[in-house]
Structure 1
Amino acid sequence: MSRVLRASAIMAAGTMVSRVTGFVRTAVLAAAIGTFALGDAYNVAYTIPLILFDLLIGGILSSVVVPMIIRRQKSDPDGGRAYEQRLMTLGVVTLTLMALVAVALARPLIGLYSADWNAEKTEVAVTLARYILPQIAFFGIGAIAGAILNTRDRFAAPMWAPVLNNIVMIGVAVVYYLKLGGSGTDIGTVTDGDLLLLGLGTTAGIVAQCLVLVVSLHRVGFRFRPRFDLRNAGLGEMGRTASWTFAYVGISQLGFLITTKLASGAGERAPGAGNSAYAYAYQFFQLPYGIIAVSVITAMLPRMSRGVADGQLDTVREEFASGVRLVSVLLVPAGLLLMVLGPAVTVLIFSWGNMTVDSAVYIGNVLQVFGLALVPFSIFQLLLRVFYSFGDTRTPVFLALGNVAVNATLSLGAYYALPPRYIVMGLAFAFTVAYVVGAAVAWILAARRVGGLAGRRVAAGLSRMYLAALPSAALALGVLWLTQELTGLDALSAAIMLAAGGGLGMVLYLAIAHRMRIPEVSSIVGMVAGRVGR
């Protein structure tokens, strides 16, 4: 556990700075463009390249490329260097072509992810998409560089690189707001120059992030030399393995497409309660997952892949068990605190510039629902890595199919049954239920693969963590009620709620969990105490 904890701590530090600057980026951007027509148009245009990247190549990086690189490092006489160069060559060429095609298809892509938009809103979104879609190439090249760094157990750069992206985007959003002020949210008055600033500024941030990763890869000894002898690139093996990954990502993106269209339609029926509200709430839901779970997952996969390659299933079981415990010990209280303090978080971040307190509170209500999903979503992602370490990309496809079926069914029910203002909250609840069911099914299948995952012991540990976290949630709820009674809800009172309710609540949880001798908390407390003692 100590190896995973140390590696995860290094990554978590970078991810925390990245996510905090991401907080600022999101807040400044929302203050500049709002959550109405322009905000919805930007968020759909911004999301499409991320979707296409995941759909076309992103999924195979985590599930296929890392385990294959590790196998080639062990088996090839040159330690896999030529294989890595072929992989980078293929990525540069393929991703550049993908970006060009995506720009040419910007209009039908916007039409695919929007619903009931008028011509003006659609045209603005298409213009933004044409500026933003080229980032597919830079995003992908940086991700390949990050994957190669991970196989060398170099985790810092991939976690710190997004900080530069956030800083660039913060600067772009500030310039946009200073230039337009209160009229920056009016989709009818923004000029082509304004859209150029937003669109190319967004892409410039990804370019900077890519350059950081490429430079870091060079510093660890990787020398890129284009190699077009792709017959030796193992494309046949990669294609066979990745075909299931493409199916997994395609199914997952189908679910995201349904959610996006429903959220877009909800925004037309209840302005301000549409896709932007869902997107911003989801970003904040991803904060604790990104800081805690992604760090553990990234450290876990290479080690589990090596354990499978060496035939040591005990290593796989131990790495997974350590990962689940480390993830859950902090995500359990984080999820409960989000459920209580969601509106306080979003009022503090979003009630500035062209945003209103009511709009910020609504985003917080959606975030509260997402708080329910934090633990099951994270455990589901950890379970997928068990299958990926075996080179099994087939089983996750069927898990994704079930996940999307549950999510889509409940989402459609929410869209047609709920009042317009509550639809997005219903979509978040459908997401939660889908991952609760998905995590349960994935656990059963993964346990069969590795000969057991100590389900009873993990369930007992989770129960103790929730028991330790309940007083923290009660404290946060009390602070929330008292502050609202005395001052109402504005940015200052939200800051008090978060400092007293969230900060003291987390300290209370750590103290109770330490007294209950939950080992992961004791490890964290011991590590922090050791650092402070130095």
Structure 2
Amino acid sequence: MTGSGSVGRGAALMASGTAVSRVLGLLRGLVLVAAIGATGQAADAFDVANKLPNVLYMLLAGGVLNAILVPQVVRAYKRDAGQEYVDRLLTLGFVILAGVAVVLTVAAPLLVGVYAKAPPSQMALATTFAYWCIPQLFFYGAYALLGQVLNARGSFGPYMWAPVVNNVVAIVGFGVFVMVFGDAQSTDVATAATWTSAQVALIAGASTLGVVAQAVVLVPALRRTGVGYRPRWGLRGSGLGRAGQVATWTFVGLVVGQLGFIVVSRAASAAPEVAGQTAVAGNAAYTAAFLVFMLPHSLVTVSLATALFTRLSGQAHDADVDGVRRTFSHGVRVVGLFTVAATALLLVLARPVVDVVLATADQASADAVALVVQAMIVGLPAFGAWSMCQRVFYAYEDARGLVPIQVAMAVVVAGGTLLVQAVMPARYWVAGAGLVMSLSYVVGAVAAAWMLRGRLRGVDGGRVVRLHVRAVLAALPAALVAWLVAYVLGLALDTGLLRSLTVCVVAGGLGGAVYVGMLRVLRVEELDGLLRPVLARLRGGRR
């Protein structure tokens, strides 16, 4: 019970940090749209460049860290000389990150050419942005290295709260841009050829400075946990050979996944020009929609999965198969409760949500983004289950076992996106790619769960399926209520941000209340298990 309560408190703490960060992330996106727009050449150019360090981090470091660092650190702190091992791992990580960041920054034109296909002026602007943004790779990696050590030590909060600092810095920088150069609605900033060096430096510099701050704020938190890092060199006898094997297979799987994403990115960058319209979903619209898609995933799935991962790693190390199965089943079921509800509500409230998130965008751009949100959100429950399956594979340090699944998912994404380009008008390419990605998550979740059945002697499949069926039954009336309330409010209120915000709060709140009430009627016990630590924290705060 103590372990369960600890995980619950850890997940609640992380969820609170993630919630604040995501709210600020939405504000950051709103200010960025005010500065450079949601569609158009400049918005798409910056999106490609600013996405590169995130993609490269995920490819070269992020997945590798998730696959090896927590399991390795958990094992290290169970034996003598554990801190020495962690020091060697951190030193190696910092050196590799620095070297890779330098090489890839020099290769910025090549990378932009891989991920985008656009007019020359837009490609040139994206390359200039990339020189500023790619160095973020080192600081994203440092943030992940230090944060995962904190998680392995049971300190979950700082890792999830650090992005708040990042968002605050970026919001200030983007806001200064609007004050100095004007907003996207009143200037010709959307055209790539009009950009000056000062404009590039302010937008891209603010974005990069935020990532630097996100990494640096973890250093004091690390010291408070008693981790006194100092550089240590030499790999012999450190046990990193096994970690290197896991890292290699993780890298292979991520490369495979990126092949599918490259097809999507190039299709998105080409869509506005092929359609002959500026207010057509491109890379910037894709990112805005993905931000909405990731909000419920980040609030629940990431927070809970991160808290459970340490437990899974310890259970896997102790050969506690029954424990791993119970933890996995619990995670999938609790995540499913929220992802099913989020899917139902966002399907009917996509447009008002986008109007709030992109309050400064024009109506045509908001329409384009809302359609992409709806296409993406249908895959959210499968995405949550797939994420939990990945954590089990990583807990067993079996990144190799994921590769065939990742190949199948990449084939679905790449092949489906090419099919969408062949049969659909260009204005629907990004939405079509969103649907294809949703299908790939279903393929990944089903295949991974099937493979885990043998290793875990079952995955508690009957219980997981029953939970999701009851969640869908509860979500249907919730979505209906949300749609009816949104329709009535739309008739009663004038158009504008206030109406959209009111619809989101009232319709979303009533839909959520109906969902929770239906779960109570259906006696879904997982709801109590998730709400218990949250209610305990609220009662403690009142005292």
| TM-score w.r.t. length of structure 1 | 0.96
- In 2, the alpha carbon distance for the partners of 1:489 and 1:104 equals 48
Task: Determine helix, strand or coil for the equivalent of 2:217.
Answer: helix
How do residues 276-315 of structure 1 correspond to structure 2 at under 5 angstroms?
A: 276-315=284-323
Q: Which residue of 2 aligns with 1:254?
A: 259
How do residues 451-530 of structure 1 correspond to structure 2 at under 5 angstroms?
A: 451-487=457-493, 489-530=495-536
Q: Which residue of 2 aligns with 1:388?
A: 394
User: For residues 61 and 426 of structure 1, do their structure 2 counterparts lie closer, same or farther at Cα, with a shift above 3 Å needed?
Assistant: same
How do residues 232-243 of structure 1 correspond to structure 2 at under 5 angstroms?
A: 232-243=237-248
Task: Determine helix, strand or coil for the equivalent of 1:153.
Answer: coil
- In 2, the alpha carbon distance for the partners of 1:287 and 1:397 equals 27
Q: Which residue of 2 aligns with 1:422?
A: 428
How far the C-alpha of 1:488 sits from its partner, in A, is: 6.4
Quick check: 2:12–2:533 contact (8 Å CA) kept in 1?
no
The range that moved more, 153-162 or 492-501, is 492-501
Q: Which residue of 1 aligns with 2:36?
A: 33
How do residues 422-461 of structure 1 correspond to structure 2 at under 5 angstroms?
A: 422-461=428-467
How far the C-alpha of 1:10 sits from its partner, in A, is: 1.1
Root mean square deviation, CA, Å: 1.5
Quick check: 2:259–2:414 contact (8 Å CA) kept in 1?
no
Task: Determine helix, strand or coil for the equivalent of 1:391.
Answer: coil
Match status 1:336 vs 2:341: no
Q: Which amino acid aligns with 1:8?
A: A
Residue among 60, 68, 73 paired with 1:69: 73
How far the C-alpha of 1:95 sits from its partner, in A, is: 1.0
For residues 260-305 of structure 1, the C-alpha deviation after alignment (integer angstroms, 9 at most, x for no partner) is 0111111222323211111110111001000100011101111111
For residues 200-228 of structure 1, the C-alpha deviation after alignment (integer angstroms, 9 at most, x for no partner) is 11110001000111221122111221111
How far the C-alpha of 1:40 sits from its partner, in A, is: 0.2
- In 1, the alpha carbon distance for the partners of 2:531 and 2:9 equals 13
Q: Which amino acid aligns with 2:233?
A: F
Match status 1:377 vs 2:391: no
Task: Determine helix, strand or coil for the equivalent of 2:101.
Answer: helix
Q: Which residue of 1 aligns with 2:110?
A: 108
Match status 1:350 vs 2:352: no
Q: Which residue of 2 aligns with 1:16?
A: 19
For residues 418-449 of structure 1, the C-alpha deviation after alignment (integer angstroms, 9 at most, x for no partner) is 11111111000000111112211111111211
Where structure 1 has 5 or more consecutive residues not aligned to the other structure, the ranges are: none
Quick check: 1:128–1:195 contact (8 Å CA) kept in 2?
yes
Instruction: Name the count of aligned residue pairs.
Output: 529
Task: Determine helix, strand or coil for the equivalent of 2:232.
Answer: coil
% same residue:
36
How do residues 127-206 of structure 1 correspond to structure 2 at under 5 angstroms?
A: 127-181=128-182, 182-183=186-187, 184-206=189-211
For residues 344-383 of structure 1, the C-alpha deviation after alignment (integer angstroms, 9 at most, x for no partner) is 101122131xx20221122111111111011001100101
- In 1, the alpha carbon distance for the partners of 2:316 and 2:216 equals 33
- In 2, the alpha carbon distance for the partners of 1:394 and 1:417 equals 35
For residues 316-369 of structure 1, the C-alpha deviation after alignment (integer angstroms, 9 at most, x for no partner) is 0111111112211122111111111111101122131xx202211221111111
Quick check: 2:264–2:414 contact (8 Å CA) kept in 1?
yes
Q: Which amino acid aligns with 1:208?
A: A
How far the C-alpha of 1:485 sits from its partner, in A, is: 3.6
Q: Which residue of 2 aligns with 1:403?
A: 409
- In 1, the alpha carbon distance for the partners of 2:107 and 2:119 equals 19
Quick check: 2:332–2:385 contact (8 Å CA) kept in 1?
yes
Quick check: 1:267–1:275 contact (8 Å CA) kept in 2?
no
For residues 471-511 of structure 1, the C-alpha deviation after alignment (integer angstroms, 9 at most, x for no partner) is 11001111222233444653222112111211111122112
Where structure 2 has 5 or more consecutive residues not aligned to the other structure, the ranges are: none
- In 1, the alpha carbon distance for the partners of 2:441 and 2:242 equals 31
How far the C-alpha of 1:138 sits from its partner, in A, is: 1.1
Q: Which amino acid aligns with 2:264?
A: T
Task: Determine helix, strand or coil for the equivalent of 1:74.
Answer: coil
Quick check: 1:248–1:397 contact (8 Å CA) kept in 2?
yes
- In 1, the alpha carbon distance for the partners of 2:220 and 2:237 equals 26
How far the C-alpha of 1:72 sits from its partner, in A, is: 2.1
Q: Which amino acid aligns with 1:60?
A: V
Q: Which residue of 2 aligns with 1:325?
A: 333
Task: Determine helix, strand or coil for the equivalent of 2:226.
Answer: coil
Q: Which residue of 2 aligns with 1:92?
A: 94
For residues 110-162 of structure 1, the C-alpha deviation after alignment (integer angstroms, 9 at most, x for no partner) is 111111x2221111111111011111111111110011111111110010000
How far the C-alpha of 1:106 sits from its partner, in A, is: 0.8
The range that moved more, 225-234 or 459-468, is 225-234
| TM-score w.r.t. length of structure 2 | 0.95
- In 1, the alpha carbon distance for the partners of 2:316 and 2:240 equals 22
Task: Determine helix, strand or coil for the equivalent of 1:261.
Answer: helix
- In 1, the alpha carbon distance for the partners of 2:535 and 2:521 equals 16
Residue among 216, 222, 229 paired with 1:224: 229
How far the C-alpha of 1:195 sits from its partner, in A, is: 0.1
Quick check: 2:353–2:504 contact (8 Å CA) kept in 1?
yes
How far the C-alpha of 1:231 sits from its partner, in A, is: 2.2
